[in-house]
Amino acid sequence: MLTINPKELPLPALQAYLSHSVAPRPVAFVSTIDRDGKPNLSPFSFFNLFSSNPPIAVFSPARSGKTNTVKHTHENVLEVPEAVINVVTYDMVHQTSLSSSEYTKGVNEFEKAGFTMLSSEMVKPPRVKESPIQMECKVKQVIELGQAAGAGNLVICEIILIHISESVLNEKKFIDQHKLDLVGRLGSNWYVRASGNALFEVAKPSFPLGIGVDAIPQRIRNSAVLTGNNLGQLGNVDKLPGAAEVRAYKKEFLKNVSGENEIHAIAKKLLDEGRVLEGWKVLLTTI
């Protein structure tokens, strides 16, 4: 295993290891204005949601690793403590990347990247019309993490108004993750698209509490077929099927099945399809 001491690496190498390791990262497409009312638009992948009550998002415009200069976004939120965080979808990712070019102060990245300015309702910076979700924010605090090249600046924002396009909502007026088609940032030039087969669901820990992997019989736990993910699924049930259920399932579905590996392969298929209780019934036929 490669072991790295961050203090012993050149900044570009450290940045590469970090950005490849802490990924994928959501992208905050942030619009701000300066004291003269000139807009700025720039993406930041050092970004996440940190509270729901109050609704708080934090992004970090870091100092340049080459010149140690601060971002115009950083300067703007100190002058006018407001911002709009727009989400980035696959259909707009190349334009978003273009907006990250180091244009001189005062250049309008909306125009350079071909985006449409849309007036906000509660803050001064404009929204990005092409983004399906736009969050108007008041900047509560800016925390400078250092003065050296590469140092981040945490911009702590309270979300005060959210605009969501009807095009990404389902019939219940909730966001449909498939329709939204977000992108995430990886290392170097790499991104990830949150759609299609890349999307999957993981059941939350059960309530009452699951039995845990340690309660799974050792013969199942040591399976050569089942994966760690499969064991996590099995450990998330709060109780096992009864002996009568197992016998009935075996009689109906497993008449001609023999051999532990074959049983485990059938169970794995069921588990991979999310049919956890059926997977347990199959596995318990060998116990």
Superfamily of domain 6-198: Electron Transport, Fmn-binding Protein; Chain A (2.30.110.10)
- Of the pLDDT bands very low, low, confident and very high (cuts 50, 70, 90), residue 255 is confident
Residue partners of 8: CB distance under 8 A and separation at least 6: none
Give the residue-averaged pLDDT of 93-112: 95
Query: For residue 175, what are its two tokens?
Result: 């966001």
Q: Which pLDDT belongs to residue 257? A: 83
Indicate the domain borders of the chain: 6-198, 213-284
Per-residue pLDDT band for 256 (boundaries 50, 70, 90) equals: confident
Sheet holding 25-26, edge to edge: 25-26, 183-185, 191-193
Cis check for the bond before 24: say yes or no (omega within 30 of 0). yes
Average pLDDT value for residue range 121-134: 98
pLDDT at 249: 93
Sheet of strand 133-144: strand arrangement: 39-44, 28-33, 82-86, 133-144, 153-164, 55-59, 47-52
Check pLDDT > 90 for residue 3: yes
pTM of the model: 0.90
Q: Looking at the predicted structure, is the pLDDT value of residue 153 above 90?
A: yes
Residue 49: strand, helix, or coil: strand
| pLDDT given for residue 104 in this prediction | 92
